[in-house]
């Protein structure tokens, strides 16, 4: 497979990077990324994955664009309020990069739905920016069962976190090693506690970076590490996550 003249020009700044090059760009074009959520994290992630030339992007979200989203979800415009987010995202991707095959699925994911969806679509990477813990666990379990790398990002108020999980590997933790087992933990929505809009852009862009790293590997492997961002102190910290010897998923 080769790149067309238009692709060589579009992705020139990737291709001149020695760690990506033409081969890495072709890998991106052949790849499929599945995003759970088209909100504060999904919005910039969709833009950067499409701009990077990921050949196939599937986005799952059941919500519509509301005016309160626009403080942080820059994929959408004021005149798109009331539209399904997956439809507005499809239009945005078509404007940005018509060479991307975009699919929008308007549904809310539960455990059974996550397992079915991942088995049917078979993505090369899953990027989870969903807004509730039960969905995150369901997606993480499905990705683990099918051995699909999971990039998980979250934002609350002035703090963000990002991790990449490949728990089937002997020295890497899975998502349950990190968060434990309880899907009924109390949660507070961003409408109740607030969220800094620009921080969702940072975390969504970093999540796209990690997804690209999984599709066309470069640099140090980030799986098994957790990035913590404190926007109040403008501080970034990286922790190494241990594998939980008692984890019900990956301990065996």
pTM (2 d.p.): 0.94
- Contacts (Cβ under 8 Å, ≥6 apart) of 97: 10, 50, 51, 53
Task: Return the HEC string of 83-106.
Answer: CEHHHHHHHHHHHHCCCCEEEEEC
Q: What pLDDT, on a 0 to 100 scale, did the predictor assign at position 184?
A: 56
> Hey, which bits of 119-185 come out as E strands?
125-128, 150-156, 159-165
Tokens 């067309």 sit on residue: 4
Size of the chain in residues? 252
| Six-digit token string for 21 | 């090059």
Sheet with 225-230: strands ordered across? 101-105, 56-60, 32-36, 125-128, 150-156, 159-165, 225-230, 235-240
Place of tokens 């102190």: 233
Place of tokens 């910039």: 44
**pLDDT value at residue 112:** 86
Q: What is the pLDDT along the chain (252 residues), one digit of tens a residue?
A: 799 999 999 999 999 999 999 999 999 999 999 999 999 999 999 999 999 999 999 999 999 999 999 999 999 999 999 999 999 999 999 999 999 999 999 999 888 899 999 999 999 999 999 988 889 999 999 999 999 999 999 999 999 999 999 999 988 999 999 988 765 555 666 667 889 999 999 999 999 999 999 999 999 999 999 999 999 999 999 999 999 998 888 876
d(CA 64, CA 76): 11
User: What confidence score (pLDDT) does residue 131 get?
Assistant: 85
């Amino acid at each position: 497979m080769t790149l067309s003249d238009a692709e060589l020009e579009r992705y020139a700044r990737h291709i001149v990077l020695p760690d990506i090059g033409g081969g890495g760009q072709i890998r991106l074009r052949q790849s499929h990324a599945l995003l759970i959520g088209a909100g504060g994290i999904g919005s910039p992630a969709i833009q950067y994955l499409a701009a990077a030339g990921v050949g196939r992007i599937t986005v799952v979200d059941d919500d519509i664009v509301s005016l309160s989203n626009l403080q942080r979800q820059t994929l959408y415009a004021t005149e798109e309020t009331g539209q399904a987010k997956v439809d507005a995202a499809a239009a945005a991707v078509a404007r940005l990069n018509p060479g991307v095959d975009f699919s929008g699925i308007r549904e809310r994911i539960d455990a059974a739905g996550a397992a079915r969806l991942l088995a049917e679509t078979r993505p090369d990477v899953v990027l989870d920016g969903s807004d509730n813990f039960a969905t995150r666990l369901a997606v993480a379990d499905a990705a683990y069962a099918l051995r699909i790398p999971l990039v998980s990002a979250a934002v609350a108020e002035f703090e963000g976190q990002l991790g990449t999980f490949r728990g089937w590997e002997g020295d890497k933790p899975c998502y349950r090693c990190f968060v434990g087992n309880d899907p009924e933990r109390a949660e507070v929505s961003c409408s109740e506690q607030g969220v800094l809009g620009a921080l969702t852009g940072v975390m969504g862009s970093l999540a796209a970076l990690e997804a690209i790293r999984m599709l066309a590997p470069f640099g140090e492997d980030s799986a098994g590490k957790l990035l913590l961002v404190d926007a109040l102190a403008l501080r970034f910290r990286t922790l190494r996550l241990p594998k939980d010897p008692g984890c019900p998923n990956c301990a065996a």
